[in-house]
Amino acid sequence: MTFRILFVCLGNICRSPLAEVALQDEAERRGLSIDVDSAGTGDWHIGDPPDPRTIEAAQRHGTDASSLRARQVRGSDFRDFDWIVAMDRQNLTDLQTLAPNDGQATLLLALDLVDGREGESVQDPYQFGKAEFDAAWRDAVLIANAIADRVEAQSSK
From the candidates 9, 25, 77, 139, give the one annotated as an active-site residue.
Answer: 9
- Catalytic, 124? Answer yes
CA distances from 142 to 41, 103, 127, 146 (A): 23, 27, 22, 6
Question: Could you tell me which residues come within 8 angstroms of residue 106 by beta carbon, excluding any fewer than 6 positions away?
Answer: 82, 83, 84
Using alpha carbons, select from 79, 59, 68 the residue that is nearest to residue 20: 68
Q: Specify whether the CB–CB gap between 13 and 45 falls below 8 A.
A: yes
From the candidates 14, 15, 25, 88, give the one annotated as an active-site residue.
Answer: 15
- Catalytic, 15? Answer yes
- Catalytic, 64? Answer no
From the candidates 51, 77, 94, 124, give the one annotated as an active-site residue.
Answer: 124
Catalytic residues: 9, 15, 124
